Amino acid sequence: MADDMDRREFLRRTSMAGALAATGAPGLGAPGGTAHAAMASAEPAVVANRQLDSQEFCLSEYDAMTPALRFTAKDAAAARAWKTTARQRLVERVGGFPATRVPLRPEIIETRDFGAYTREKIVFQTRENLSAIAYLLVPAKRNGPVPAVVCYPGHGRGVIDIVGIAPDGTQRPSAAAQYAVGCVDRGFAALAIEPLGFGERRDAAARKAGPEKYSCQPAATAALLLGQTMVGLRVWDSMRAIDYLATRSEIDMSRVATLGMSGGGTMSLFSAALDERVKVGVVSAYFNTWRDSIISISHCPDNYVPGLARDMEMADIAGILAPRYLFVESGRNDPIFPIAGSQRAAEQAQQIYRAHGVPERFGYAIHDGAHSFDGVEAFAFLTRTL
């Protein structure tokens, strides 16, 4: 069949060349051009008034929509009623959660003493057929139970990036990106959880490819095929991580926060919105509008929740979290979560917090970096609210 198709194409092109030669036009292989070029020269006039750009189409679809659950409440009572409906819809959009919690079966598989804090490596069960890895950092000096921050890394080598573990297993010098260590340095406990698809929770192909390779994309797209989302799977992991914190006597469960940068910021926002045990959410290098970031710029599929833009904007998710505390930081030069979109989303979130009567519980800061964690004002906010 392939040979027949090749012959037909040869005859078609030969016939076209003959027709062009009869009119004096440059033929196939002629210095002046080809039959294809002659045909293509007519295309601009034909398609000038057509719409062929895939991104422009998606943006036009977004612009034509009015999210069904956009926050419009004007007072605290209406805001509470809206939140009940919006939260349930968000749970449905991310794929829902298991009806029951399986036993955690936690095990501490490694303990290291760094003087100012101890670090435990823990494994626990989140679902019937899924386990999680996390590191619990607890300050050595404490007077009774301490606040805890659940920390999520962004795309990279996984949780070891935020607890300061080098590729060879040694401890790296302190740096801003190691925000789990930054938490314990400030007197908080930090539970840094390995996201599904990263580090020790990657698939075999990614593990074989090397430490920098993650299996986020195949896992996220498989989740969509199964009627789930990577956001939903990871939020449930986060909920089970908080379940684990509740088993530890060192932790004050009335003072739990979430913190993450980039993909970790996604998890911090969604987890804080959907788990009311979280008092404070801190979101770095993520908070934006769907239009300016997730739709306009190519991102990993773990960012996408089918149909969510039909219901709400990212700022509306902040509304589900309100009147609890939320802090957002963004880099002025972030190329994938542009600052203009971040400012628009922050303005919308501020309006929502104002409707709840607690505008001071939303904080926003811009730093001069790019796609990175700054933390200066974020840690000040955590210290003040926890």
Number of Cβ atoms within 10 Å of the Cβ of 37: 11
Asked whether residue 51 carries a pLDDT value surpassing 70, the answer given is yes
Strands 130-139 and 189-193: antiparallel
- Between these two residues, 31 and 141, which has the higher pLDDT value? 141
Amino acid at residue number 351: Q
Number of Cβ atoms within 10 Å of the Cβ of 167: 10
C-alpha distances in Å from residue 220, one per residue of 87, 230, 234, 311: 22, 5, 10, 21
Model confidence band, residue 7 (pLDDT cutoffs 50, 70, 90): very low
* CB contact at 8 A, 141 and 126: no
Give per-residue pLDDT as tens, 177-197: 999 999 999 999 999 999 999
* CB contact at 8 A, 382 and 257: yes
* CB contact at 8 A, 79 and 352: yes
Give per-residue pLDDT as tens, 318-355: 999 999 999 999 999 999 999 999 999 999 999 999 99
- 3-state DSSP call for residue 118? strand
C-alpha distances in Å from residue 383, one per residue of 131, 146, 323, 380: 32, 12, 18, 5
Tokens read off for 259:
């913190």
Predicted TM-score (pTM) of the model is 0.88
Of 233, 263, 51, 231, the residue nearest 151 (C-alpha): 263
Asked whether residue 75 carries a pLDDT value surpassing 80, the answer given is yes
